[in-house]
Structures are given as C-alpha cells and as structure tokens.
Amino acid sequence: MSIYLHDIPLDEARRRFDEALGEAGLGGVLGAETLPLDDRAVGRVLAEPVWARISSPHYHAAAMDGFALQAEATFGAQPASPVTLLYGDRVQYVDTGDPVPGWANAVVPIEQVEPLDAAGKVETEHPRQPHAIRLRQAARPWQHIRPLGEDIVATSLVLPAGHVLRPVDLGAIAACGHTEVTVARRPKVAILPTGTELVPIGTDPQPGDILEFNSVVLAAQVRQWGGEPTRFPISVDDFDLIRSRVAEAARAHDLVLLNAGSSAGSEDFSARVVESLGTLLVHGIAVRPGHPVILGLLQVEGRAVPVIGVPGYPASAALTGEIFVEPLLARWLGRAPHRPPVLKAHLTRKLASPAGDDDYVRVAVGKVGERWLAAPLARGAGVLTSLVRADGIVVVPRGLQGYDAGAAVDVRLYRQPHELESTIFAIGSHDVILDLLAQFLSAHDRRLASAHVGSLGGLVALRRGEAHFAGSHLLDPDSGEYNLAYIRRYLPGVPVVVLGLVEREQGLMVLPGNPKSIRSLEDLAREDVTFVNRQRGAGTRVLLDYHLQRLGLAPEQVSGYAQEEFTHLSVAAAVATGRADCGLGIPAAAQALGLDFVPLFRERYDLVIPREHAESPLLAPLFAVLADEAFRAAVMRLPGYDLGPMGKVIATLP
C-alpha cells in the first residue's frame, strides 16, 4: 500500500483539482483592473476584448510627400508626351500624413513631378507651390493614399481577451482611440518554505543545514507566469506554526504553495495542515520526480483558497510548478497555458523508467550532423544542476519502461531550436577545463553541452554519431601512447583529428594534512585506507588498473574499488565528506574542495574530433579559443596543467 493518501495518475489528480476549483468558483479569471496605456501594461493579459473607438487612420491620409490631384487628369501622360496641370483648385501639395482634399483621389510623390513657373521653366525657388506641374507618368486612383480605416475600422475587434500584451499592441490600442486598458488581475501567490533543516540563502551552512532556495525558484516561476509572489520566512517543523502561517497566507492570497513536508515522515505536516484547514484532494501523484505532491482547497474566513504541497527536492519543486502552477495561473489570467515547442530527437543512451509513473526526464539537446540528439541528464530529484543544463524534457508515459538508445522521442523544449543549433555536443572524459572552455565559447555564440561518461564512452558516442568531439586520456599499456590505439579500435574507418588539449597531473586526493599519510598506490592495499574509484571506461580508471597491475595489486585488495563516481569533482566531494580516504584525480578538483594532492603521474588529455566536424563552421570557434591567450592564462591559473599540447594536431586518423 502507498505511504501517501493515494498515489494516483496525473490525469486523475488534475481532474480532481479542476472539479474542486470549478465548484469553488475559481475556474476562470479572478478579476480585472484598469491600467493607463503605458509600458506598465506590457506582459499583462487582456481581461476584455479591445474594440476600436475610432478608425485608423480616421481620415484619408497622404502616404507620401507630393501633390494631391485627380488621377483621371493624368491619364495619357508618358515620357515623350507629358501632361501639364495648373496648380490650384485641383492640384495641391501635401506632406505625409496630411488629410487628402475631398476632390483628390491620388498623390504623386514630389520626386516624380516637374514643378514649373509661369514661363514654363522648372521652378527651383518654390517647388511646392509652383505655377503648374508636369507629369510624365499617369497616376493610379488611390495611389499613395491611406484611406480611412485602412488599418483599423471603428467598432472592429483589435485584440481579443486573453491576449498577452506586447509593445506593438499598445500602439494599436492607442491608435484606435483608447487611453486605458483592462487587464486580468495578477493572482497573488504565497510561498511558504518549511523544514527545521533549512537556513536562509547567504548563511554559511553547517553539516545538516540546507540552503533554502526553492522559494526563490518558485517565486521567479510565479512572476514569469504572470503572478505576484510573496515569500514567507522559513517555518520550522511545527504543526501549529505551519498551520498558523498557512491560514495567514490564505487570507491575503489566491494560492498557497507549501514547500516541503509533503512526504510521510514524522515531521511532514503539510497534509495534516491542509486537512485541518479545508479539504485534502490529492496526496501523492504517479509522477517522477515529484511523487509527494499535495492538492487541496483551504477554507479561511469564508474564502476557498487552493493549496499545492510542493515537494522539497529542487527538481521536483520546479517540475510541480510547471505541471500545476503555470496552468492554474494561465486559467486565472484568461490566457492559454504555455505550450513549449516540441522537437523530435534521438536518445544518446538507453532510458529506463518505472512503468507506473509519468517520468519527466531532463535532457541536453544538440544537432550532430543532420540529427537532433537528446542526452539524458542526472536523474536525482535533488540534482539542481540538471535543471540549469536542461534544454528540454522528455516524458516517458505511464505504462512504458523506458526507451532504447537511439529511439526517437519528443522533447518539450526550454529553448528555441535556433539556439540549440549553436550547441557543441561533447561526450567523454571529464576535466574542469571543459567548464572554462564553455565560458569562452559563449563569447563566440556557441554553447558547450558536455556529458561525462568516460573516455571509452566518448569514443563509442563518436562512433554512433552522437557528439562533435570527445575528451580522452586512455593509456595504451603496450605502447605507452595515449588514445591512438583506442581510436583505431573503437573508431575503425572514421576520419578523426586528434587535437591536443593539455598535459596534466594525476594523483591521489586526500584530506587536508593527509592524516593517513597516503603516499602511493601501494597504500591503497592498507586495511585502514578506503578508496573511491571512477566508473568503468573512464581514462582515470584505465590508468589506475594499469598501475595496479604493474604493482601486482588486485582490485579486490583495494577497499572501495567498486565505489564509483563519474567526475573528478565527484571523487573529490566523496573524499571531502569522509566517504573515502582518497581517490585518483586531478589537482584542480582537489583544490576546488580544499583537499591535499599527492602527485603520481602525468598524462595527455586530447580532444578527438571527427573530421567532418573539425572542418565545420560550428567548431571553428573551438580552435580560436584554444589559441586565445586569455583562455590559456585562465587554464594556467589552475594547478597541474601543462599547455604544451594545446591546439596541436597530434594525429589525423585513419
């Protein structure tokens, strides 16, 4: 049995919520307000249609500087047999925007007219009030005239209700005679973070403390979607305190977002608070991430106020906003809910999913060759960086257990497709230099999206056409050379350029002061030393296995050999938090987390680039950055790097 009230499908949860809102009279626009017609109206949603009070233009207006006349009087005019008309009752000069005389039905631009004086010579002193004009081309009826109502006719619909106002819309509203505009009232949304473990942003967190930033994200979402957010102070896990603050929030707001405390732990009070103040409609939805969502309706001082219990993990909180808050605000504002652009892309790896949930998977998106690719990002509900790096969402519907690698999927995009066409897809070995590279490439209108799957994984991705380049540092035990033997083995027949990036140190990252006096790989066999490893296929793992073999040490002799991480920084974090005594990595990662470093080896880290991409305009900025002195200086400020190979072609294969 579910630990929640009832873990129900997403569609059922929406139905219950929508029915309750409808019965409470909260199924439409909450109210309207009138604003002066100025820049403050931009982005607001029209609560009423705008009908034209006057026509635009509201008279026949000259569209050019020239002479108003009757077109029929010019018929027959040709270059060799011009027509001459006396200036006066039936020929009159007008500027652009002037009313056209009632007897005129055409305007001839001044540059097409020869003004004449009384002697029949070209008038130079008063060309706009000549004695006569000579025309060598006939005018068409109503040429260069903006007739009354050409743009807007009085009483016609200018903009419908539900329209989100843009700057140009304000001009149209003004042109048809309005000085004010009636827009939907912005819904007021209270955001209440709860949890004894939470501390405000700006606090130096201690072990066990969690910086409270979900309310910042939720408030920004609410404002972006047209609401007015109010962030309440953190409430510790106390039922009476949370209940009091929820009641207070409901009195002055249209929606309450109660963040965290929605699971079933001993200090998770959100569901009980909602029940005590109204009706608990839903507690638990079959959505991943975001199972413990609460939907309810509060009754405070005779008012019905919806409440959404938002899970505490960042990814779950943000997704709950997208699934429930945005559509609700759209309804209350009278606009259509957001419909993201959808792109068909192919998965770069197999995607497993629980069959009972609608699984929302964050992906990075790039175009390699002619194919759009979607690379699944880290799945954890608490993985905030996956929200930042995500280009879109792939939804695996309930009933499916995932998709195979290469499967075509629909990606609901967070970015426009044209932005993604400037994305460089890198899959392979991790190095902190890639973050620097991404920073410098952004100045060249390029985005670097990197996935850290290890050197071997990067070569496999290149073979499948899923990346523009791969970072690699694979040592061949037989030749002592880096990368080339593996490229020949894994990319047979694929033309590639092997571009040097850096030489770097590898060594053991240890706690400050090296309390266990770890000096070499031999120390990994000690009973009092716990190690954290890189994943299978990583160049660092290959390097470790090579040297363990040379020392005659079996993996079974290394405590923690099977404990794997996917990046140097993750290994450093494991050491810094005491999960391990040491791990093999680079000095820049050790420095980032305040660890000591025991240097052991030097290795070359290369970029393996299929020739078709190396010669493409997309990757041209990559070569420019590698030659950029500012980039090189930034790398040199990091410990453990030698720039000797940077930008040099190590080999072209085959």
pLDDT digits (tens, 9 = 90+) for 537-592: 889 999 999 999 999 999 999 999 999 998 899 999 999 999 999 999 999 999 99
Query: What CATH number is given to the structural domain containing 587?
Result: 3.40.190.10
Percent of the chain at pLDDT > 90 equals 83
Average pLDDT over residues 438-467: 91
The mean predicted confidence, pLDDT, of the chain is 93
Average pLDDT over residues 313-326: 93
Tokens of 281: 């409609």
Last residue of a domain, one of 288, 323, 358: 323
Pairwise CA distance, residues 495 & 199, whole Å: 54
Is the pLDDT confidence value at 384 over 70? no
Pairwise CA distance, residues 80 & 135, whole Å: 10
Q: What is the DSSP letter of 535?
A: P
Is the pLDDT confidence value at 441 over 50? yes
Whether omega before 187 lies within 30 degrees of 0, making that bond cis, reads: no
- What pLDDT score was predicted for residue 264? 56
Strand partners, 402: 352
Last residue of a domain, one of 161, 184, 207: 184
Q: Which residues contact 305 (CB under 8 A, 6 or more apart)?
A: 250, 253, 254, 255, 256, 278, 297, 298, 299
pLDDT bucket at 594, cuts 50 / 70 / 90 = very high
- What pLDDT score was predicted for residue 510? 98
Average pLDDT over residues 499-504: 96
Strand partners, 351: 403
Last residue of a domain, one of 400, 421, 442: 421
- Domain total in the chain: 5
Is the pLDDT confidence value at 302 over 70? yes
Average pLDDT over residues 351-355: 87
Q: What is the DSSP letter of 73?
A: G
Residue 428 lies in a domain: no
- What pLDDT score was predicted for residue 582? 98
Is the pLDDT confidence value at 298 over 70? yes
pLDDT bucket at 503, cuts 50 / 70 / 90 = very high
Model pLDDT for residues 63-80, shown as the tens digit of each residue: 999 999 999 999 999 999
Residue 53 lies in a domain: yes
Tokens of 486: 């593996």
The secondary structure element, H or E, covering residue 419 is helix 417-420
Average pLDDT over residues 323-349: 95
Q: What are phi and psi of 417, to 5 degrees?
A: -55, -35
Average pLDDT over residues 111-140: 94
Residue matched to tokens 């792939």: 394
Average pLDDT over residues 105-127: 94
Average pLDDT over residues 182-205: 96
Contact 178, 50 (CB under 8 A): yes
Residue 76 lies in a domain: yes
* Nearest by Cα to 531 from 540, 208, 638: 540
Domain that holds residue 135: 61-146
* Nearest by Cα to 137 from 70, 69, 88, 80: 80
Q: Is the dihedral of CA 321, 351, 565, 392 positive or negative?
A: negative
The secondary structure element, H or E, covering residue 503 is strand 496-510
Residue 336 lies in a domain: no
- What pLDDT score was predicted for residue 1? 38
Query: What CATH number is given to the structural domain containing 130?
Result: 2.170.190.11
Contact 454, 473 (CB under 8 A): no
User: How far, in Å, are 373, 471, 482, 569 from residue 459 at the CA level?
Assistant: 16, 9, 13, 22
